[in-house]
């Protein structure tokens, strides 16, 4: 994807930022505009902004980490990545999907709640997805359920999209349950959301899934997701496992 080089400025002061409140300033049409990092509609509307901000400036590593870990674990199990039929949850503009294709994923479908995300993916990476759906997994229509079921997914990927309310536990459960038993589950999440300090519900959900045998975790890796605007590292955890059964409603926190 070719795009013009943008002028981007991070906050000059070094006050503590929660990740959810980080922002930058971008020079657009001769005017500096302030954009929150989680205001994805605005970020995806500007070609190249997501890549330049998160990957060139803040050195995001999550797509590479999850792609590498998924490939290693499937190879260890004797499964060809070309046989994977992946639902990319919170697909955004396709950066994660591009990495999944790079490690050999055979069939790839994107899903995001934002129409702007789909527009950006089709604009920037039209060759990556076999299909891309805009939908709310907590309120699927019968037609959307049939469409997802017809894709016969045997893998789910969700990268850096859990824990801040963008994809709640109920939506993750719905996506998880679309995957066939024995399929692969690969996701990354901020380390805090798997700790005793978690307020998102994911620490409890993952714990219950592991304890009840719904999810067999094959690999777990804590890594530096990216830099914060202060220059400090933000650490996430990448997990790859095997789905053994659907998540029942009573496992939701």
Give pLDDT tens digits along the chain (253 positions): 446 799 999 998 666 667 878 999 999 999 999 999 999 999 999 999 999 999 999 999 999 999 999 999 999 999 999 999 999 999 999 999 999 999 999 999 999 999 999 999 999 999 999 999 999 999 999 999 999 999 999 999 999 999 888 899 999 999 999 999 999 999 999 999 999 999 999 999 999 999 999 999 999 999 999 999 989 999 999 999 999 999 999 999 9
Same domain, 119 and 155: yes
Same domain, 131 and 228: yes
Query: How far is the C-alpha of 76 from the C-alpha of 78, rounded, in Å?
Result: 5
Q: Is residue 2 part of a domain?
A: no
Same domain, 202 and 245: yes
Q: CB-hemisphere CA count at 13 Å for 180?
A: 11
What's the confidence (pLDDT) of residue 1?
47
Q: Kindly state the DSSP code that residue 249 receives in the 8-state scheme.
A: G
Other CB atoms within 10 A of residue 150 CB: 8
Q: Is residue 27 part of a domain?
A: yes
Q: Among 36, 57, 78, where does a domain finish?
A: 57
List all residues 6 or more positions away from 68 whose beta carbon is below 8 Å from its beta carbon: 103
pTM flag (> 0.85): yes
DSSP 3-state of 130: coil
Query: How far is the C-alpha of 45 from the C-alpha of 121, rounded, in Å?
Result: 11
Number of domains into which the chain is organized = 2
List all residues 6 or more positions away from 23 whose beta carbon is below 8 Å from its beta carbon: 11, 34, 35, 36, 37, 229
Residue 205 is encoded by which pair of tokens?
């959900």
What's the confidence (pLDDT) of residue 92?
97
DSSP 3-state of 203: helix
Q: Is residue 128 part of a domain?
A: yes
Same domain, 192 and 211: yes
Q: Is residue 3 part of a domain?
A: no
Residue 174 is encoded by which pair of tokens?
């719905």
Domain ranges, residue 12: 8-57
What's the confidence (pLDDT) of residue 16?
66
Cα–Cα nearest to 99, from 57, 43, 140, 159: 159
Q: Is residue 151 part of a domain?
A: yes
Q: Is residue 125 part of a domain?
A: yes
Same domain, 46 and 150: no
Whether the CB-CB separation of 238 and 62 falls below 8 Å is answered with yes
Same domain, 67 and 50: no
Q: Is residue 1 part of a domain?
A: no
Q: Is residue 129 part of a domain?
A: yes
Query: How far is the C-alpha of 168 from the C-alpha of 170, rounded, in Å?
Result: 5
What's the confidence (pLDDT) of residue 18?
76
Q: Among 57, 77, 96, where does a domain finish?
A: 57
């Amino acid at each position: 994807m070719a795009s013009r080089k943008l002028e981007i400025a991070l906050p000059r002061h070094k006050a503590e930022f929660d990740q959810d409140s980080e922002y930058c300033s971008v020079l657009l049409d001769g005017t500096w505009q302030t954009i929150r990092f989680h205001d994805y509609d605005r970020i995806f509307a500007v070609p190249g902004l997501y890549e330049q901000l998160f990957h060139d400036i803040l050195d995001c590593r999550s797509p590479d980490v999850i792609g590498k870990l998924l490939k290693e674990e499937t190879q260890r199990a004797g499964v060809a990545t070309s046989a994977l039929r992946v639902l990319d949850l919170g697909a955004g503009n396709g950066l994660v999907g591009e990495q999944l294709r790079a490690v050999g994923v055979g069939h790839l479908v994107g899903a995001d709640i934002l129409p702007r995300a789909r527009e950006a993916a089709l604009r920037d990476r039209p060759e990556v997805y076999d299909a891309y759906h805009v939908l709310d997994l907590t309120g699927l229509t019968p037609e959307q359920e049939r469409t997802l079921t017809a894709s016969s997914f045997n893998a789910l990927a969700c990268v850096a999209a859990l824990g801040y309310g963008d994809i709640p536990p109920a939506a993750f459960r719905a996506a998880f349950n679309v995957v066939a038993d024995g399929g692969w589950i690969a996701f990354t999440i901020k380390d805090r959301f798997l700790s005793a300090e978690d307020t998102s519900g994911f620490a409890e959900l993952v714990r219950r899934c592991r304890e009840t045998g719904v999810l067999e975790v094959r690999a777990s890796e804590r890594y530096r997701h990216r830099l914060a605007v202060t220059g400090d590292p933000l650490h996430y955890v990448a997990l790859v496992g095997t789905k053994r059964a659907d998540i029942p409603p009573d496992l939701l926190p």
